[in-house]
Amino acid sequence: MITQSDPGTENFGIANTQTMFRQMHDPTLSGFVQQRWMRSKKNIIPEIAWSQLRHRFTPGFKALLDDGVKEGLYDPYNTLQKMLFRWLFIPWLQQELDSYVYRVNNTRKRHDKNKVLPHGIPELIHRCAADYGALDFKVTITPDAIDHVRQLYINPNHPVFDLVPASLGNFIEFCYDNLGCPPIHHSSIWMIYGRLLDLLQQCQGMPAILVELDNCVAGNNEDLPLIEGLEDLHEKEGYFGGVANGLGLQQEHLRELDRFLDEEPDHDEEDIDEDNNIDAGPSVWVECFTSDEGDSAEEVEVDGEL
């Protein structure tokens, strides 16, 4: 399994960490960067996932954010309001995105007889590939390896890791505690924003904090270079994975797939559901979902539910 992205220096850090992780645990991958640079329109799977997110998740939340601007609650050119917006909205939106990802990864997609990939719940296929007649190319990363790479590439003091400067963040948290830590959801977040803004504007020390914000100097934003001495993955027509450094399945992999087929039991009628689909995984009921880019009456849409 490799990472994929559009070419660009902003992705070099991801490519470096992915390469180091995989090569530390699988020496056969030495000599090649474990990142596929997707040019033109070949980055299909991530683009489909992004399109679905924009279609299903984004509209409802975008409308909610627009409401605050239209009603005069938020001015993006006001430093205090911008900092408060970051502190309050970004963690909440991240939580909602995490819930969306969990739902997609734990929902069985619509059965498609034309697809050769395993059918079932994506998270279960990822964890137990062999149970679905699939090969498992995951590389298990040790905690020590994560700590090592973090020390090499991560500066914990970089301002990118702070939603707002610490002095202001601590004061906003103090005000939020004074409000009783009200639960944040779609119907309450703008009300909480307004109450926090009132408290902040009444604070006598706020002008000094805002001056400190204006004087903050951004951290080092220099581009991170790629690890030297590595080649790009092999190019093979129709294959964009990282098996055998881009060459695809080898003979040992094909023999393992043949073994899966030989061991696959015959399915009796009781194993087939009313739609004539063979259940290829654990018996878990979930809603229908699809990874297809087009719409279908059989899909269960999220449609930006709040």
What is d(CA 241, CA 135) in angstroms, rounded to the nearest whole number? 13
Among residues 56, 109, 91, 95, the alpha carbon closest in space to that of 287 is found at 109
More confident residue, 106 or 256: 106
Q: Give the HSE-up count for residue 267: Cα atoms under 13 Å, Cβ half-sphere.
A: 12
Question: Is it the case that residue 282 has pLDDT exceeding 50?
Answer: no
Would residue 45 count as lying in a domain? Answer: yes
Would residue 53 count as lying in a domain? Answer: yes
Q: Are the C-beta atoms of 4 and 43 separated by less than 8 Å? A: yes
Would residue 288 count as lying in a domain? Answer: no
Confidence of residue 267 (pLDDT cuts 50, 70, 90): very low
Among residues 92, 101, 103, the alpha carbon closest in space to that of 65 is found at 92
Looking at the structure of the chain, the number of domains it has is: 1
More confident residue, 272 or 41: 41
Would residue 98 count as lying in a domain? Answer: yes
Domain extent, residue 196, equals: 3-271
More confident residue, 84 or 25: 84
Q: Give the HSE-up count for residue 275: Cα atoms under 13 Å, Cβ half-sphere.
A: 8
Q: State the chain's mean pLDDT as an integer.
A: 80
Would residue 295 count as lying in a domain? Answer: no
The tokens of 41 are what?
A: 């329109």
List pLDDT tens digits, range 33-90.
998 887 765 667 777 888 889 998 999 999 999 999 999 999 999 989 999 999 999 9
Using the structure block, give the residue that is written with the tokens 């490519």: 15
Question: What's the predicted TM-score (pTM) here?
Answer: 0.70
Would residue 277 count as lying in a domain? Answer: no
- The reported pLDDT for the residue numbered 217 is 45
Would residue 23 count as lying in a domain? Answer: yes
Confidence of residue 2 (pLDDT cuts 50, 70, 90): confident
The tokens of 299 are what?
A: 């899909």
Would residue 197 count as lying in a domain? Answer: yes
Beta bridge partners of 278: 272
- The reported pLDDT for the residue numbered 301 is 39
